[in-house]
Structure 1
Amino acid sequence: MDTLRDALDDWSSGGFGWLEWDGAVAEARTLFARFIGVNPTTVSAVGSLGEAAATVAASIPRGRVVVPAQEFRSNLFPWTAGHEVVAVPPRHGSTRLEDLIDALDENTALLAVSEVTSREGQRLDLSALRTATDRVGARLFVNLTQSLGALSFDLAAVRPDYLAVHGYKWLLCPRGAAWLVTRPDLVGELRPLAPGWKSTGPPYGYFAGPMRLATDASRCDASPAWLSWMGACAALRLMLSLDARIVERHCLALATRLIERAREIGLRPLNDGGLSQIVVLRVEEADTIAARLRHGGIRATALGDRVRFGFHYFNNREDVDAVVRVLSK
């Protein structure tokens, strides 16, 4: 927040240097690449998860894309542009790993999934999905928006062909800073959705001339919203100062505590798969409960017949107990 306040002060005074601000994109790319463990040349700086998915959808050969029917729309709707989408229905209200695997066949071009399903807080076994896609020769697109920052990610075990994350969730970035990571040998396939002056890579030109796409993943960079990327740099420096394994253990311990305490008062969690930092409880009158939680200084999301909570490193056991006190009423 201090970074953004300082930038706004500079802007309002007319004293800002836009070239310096524009450099925040390259710095954020480098910091993100270090955080996730990839080469910066494989990272595109985009504005949202939907843009990342749509970029891949427009770049790969037309084919069959398998996606959970309950997937967040930013990782669902982009695939409908030019592809046959196989939407795998939930079973008993939850996305099932085995159903996703069963939906794959030799005609599947790509499987698109989120590591954590935000409707029920389930953490999917990405390594198992990688094995399944390898078996049929399909590519794997992984959305880490609901996990990266709170949960650690094993890049070597998953080996995604494409990895995307919007930083405004668990990476604590301003909205508008997102990344698409592409397997190195597939970078040449990428085509920008909206080619512009950023598509050529440095040194950038402004006027006329031929369009020669950058040889690396920056060819799909969006024209940056400067403040978003300046804030992203500050957030990523903070995230890099933390031990990701310790952060994950802390967040999962809080989620486990809420699940146990919720069961004691008769509430049922909807996740019966892999544990994540997101806990979703089935309730009656979810909107009313969410309003009561807000009145008590607790933010939660009402989703029809359920209410969703998320834990990060800055939360503690007292936060869990405060939630339970409100739910007990």
Structure 2
Amino acid sequence: MHAFGAEFAVPPGYLNTPSIGVPSAAVADAVAEVVEKWRRGETRPNDFDAIVDRSRAGFARLAGVPADRVTIGASASQLVGNVAAGLADGARVLVAEGDFTSVTFPFAAHADRGVTVTEVPPERLADRVEGHDLVAVSLVQSIDGSVADLTGLRAAAEASGAAVLLDVTQAAGWLPLETAWADWVLAAGYKWLLSPRGAAWMAVHPRAHGRTRPAAANWFAGGDDRWNSIYGLPLRLAGDARGFDLSPVWLAHVGAAVALDYLGSLDLAEVRAHNVGLAKALLGALGLPARDSAIVSLAADPARMAAAGVVSGVRDGRVRVGFHLYNTADDVERVLSAFE
């Protein structure tokens, strides 16, 4: 199918983007081409440096920050781990109750240093910031698609001096981001960013640089001359956010570079309107309150959904569907048919 200027082979009824996005033909072709070169022994390690730089710049555009603020990794939890490792002993962290564990576990793992992690209902997050050193939350909740109140959170954090970490994995790619004010903004690429699994990024605000620790310091995080300085001490890392880089998963960044270039060329306000419009159409037809999210959580029978040709996820005992730019009104009808 042709959607938003790209070709997709996504099957009808595919509504599982919150679990794994479907690449465009251009993304899949780019990865396949490099796999063939790899098969023939035609790839060289430093061939991928420019590709990683391209994916880094692509995420920077979506996040609204300069590329030198962006570090790369393979998963969200790895990147959050750099923030957790930089916390002072006894730090107090506030999180949303029921948030994805890649946001919360990296902090909870530092309990031996006196780091405490407090859960509150997502809608109470802004009210409870006072007395905490850091607030970590998903902009869009994986479990049900609820969207955080960033206006309230930002005001509360600035008033109390708390740092803010935002995981935009379930938002980047369909929701225009206005998050450059946050201390850390991160995303994994294999969902709404339509990239292979193994590429993730985090924007590090200059004020947060000294509070971020290179927990897995490695050769790739070296300076501009990394290929000539990969042996021996002393420690020498890039002075900007690249100093927190993890060694890249090359094939993942090949696809991500193409995917992020594509998404960066779109008007994400239009993508949001398309996705949220389909979600609201579904909720309206079911007599449920409208929400401004591309993700919908339903009390439904997963077996009936599958029988109706709907590919969905199940979270917290409920069917979870997500509408992205390659979905249509026909997908809404498929979901509705499972309720007949």
TM-score in terms of structure 1 length? 0.88
1:227 counterpart SS class: helix
C-alpha distance in 2 between matches for 1:303 and 1:41? 36
Q: What is the correspondence of 1:271-282 to structure 2 with a 5 Å cutoff?
A: 275-282=292-299
Task: Write the letter of the residue equivalent to 2:125.
Answer: L
Task: Write the letter of the residue equivalent to 2:268.
Answer: A
Q: What is the correspondence of 1:165-204 to structure 2 with a 5 Å cutoff?
A: 165-204=187-226
State the shift of 1:199 in Å: 2.3
RCO higher in 1 or 2 (8 Å CA, sep ≥ 6)? 2
Structure 2 counterpart of 1:87: 119
Structure 1 counterpart of 2:184: 162
Structure 1 counterpart of 2:136: 112
Q: Which runs of 5+ in 2 are unaligned?
A: 1-27
Q: What is the correspondence of 1:43-82 to structure 2 with a 5 Å cutoff?
A: 43-62=70-89, 63-80=91-108, 81=110, 82=113
Q: Which runs of 5+ in 1 are unaligned?
A: 284-288
Could you report, residue by residue, the CA deviation over 1:10-53 in whole angstroms, capped at 9, with x for unpaired residues?
11111223211233111111121122210111111011110111
User: Are 1:142 and 2:163 an aligned pair?
Assistant: no
Structure 1 counterpart of 2:335: 323
State the shift of 1:133 in Å: 1.1
Q: How many residues align?
A: 306
- Which of 94, 101, 104 is the aligned partner of 2:126? 101
Is the 8 Å Cα contact of residues 188 and 216 (structure 1) preserved in structure 2?
no
- Which of 90, 96, 121 is the aligned partner of 2:145? 121
Is the 8 Å Cα contact of residues 113 and 143 (structure 1) preserved in structure 2?
yes
Is the 8 Å Cα contact of residues 22 and 224 (structure 1) preserved in structure 2?
no
- Which of 40, 43, 46 is the aligned partner of 1:16? 43
C-alpha distance in 1 between matches for 2:315 and 2:207? 40
Structure 1 counterpart of 2:30: 3
C-alpha distance in 1 between matches for 2:86 and 2:238? 15
C-alpha distance in 1 between matches for 2:292 and 2:203? 25
State the shift of 1:85 in Å: 0.6
Is the 8 Å Cα contact of residues 103 and 137 (structure 2) preserved in structure 1?
yes
C-alpha distance in 2 between matches for 1:327 and 1:121? 21
1:215 counterpart SS class: coil
State the shift of 1:303 in Å: 2.3
Is the 8 Å Cα contact of residues 162 and 183 (structure 1) preserved in structure 2?
yes
Between 30-39 and 4-13, report the one with greater CA deviation. 30-39
Structure 1 counterpart of 2:263: 239
C-alpha distance in 1 between matches for 2:33 and 2:285? 43
C-alpha distance in 2 between matches for 1:241 and 1:100? 34
Task: Write the letter of the residue equivalent to 2:296.
Answer: V
1:242 counterpart SS class: coil
Note the aligned Cα RMSD (angstroms). 1.7
Could you report, residue by residue, the CA deviation over 1:125-160 in whole angstroms, capped at 9, with x for unpaired residues?
11211101111110111110011101111236xx11
Structure 2 counterpart of 1:306: 318
Identity of paired residues, percent? 35
Could you report, residue by residue, the CA deviation over 1:38-79 in whole angstroms, capped at 9, with x for unpaired residues?
011111101111011111111133410000120100001111
Structure 2 counterpart of 1:286: none
2:195 counterpart SS class: coil
Is the 8 Å Cα contact of residues 69 and 241 (structure 2) preserved in structure 1?
yes
TM-score in terms of structure 2 length? 0.86
Is the 8 Å Cα contact of residues 116 and 144 (structure 1) preserved in structure 2?
yes
C-alpha distance in 2 between matches for 1:209 and 1:23? 26
Is the 8 Å Cα contact of residues 191 and 219 (structure 1) preserved in structure 2?
no
Is the 8 Å Cα contact of residues 199 and 219 (structure 1) preserved in structure 2?
yes
State the shift of 1:211 in Å: 0.8
C-alpha distance in 2 between matches for 1:112 and 1:303? 21
C-alpha distance in 2 between matches for 1:87 and 1:327? 35
Task: Write the letter of the residue equivalent to 2:189.
Answer: G
1:179 counterpart SS class: strand
State the shift of 1:249 in Å: 0.7
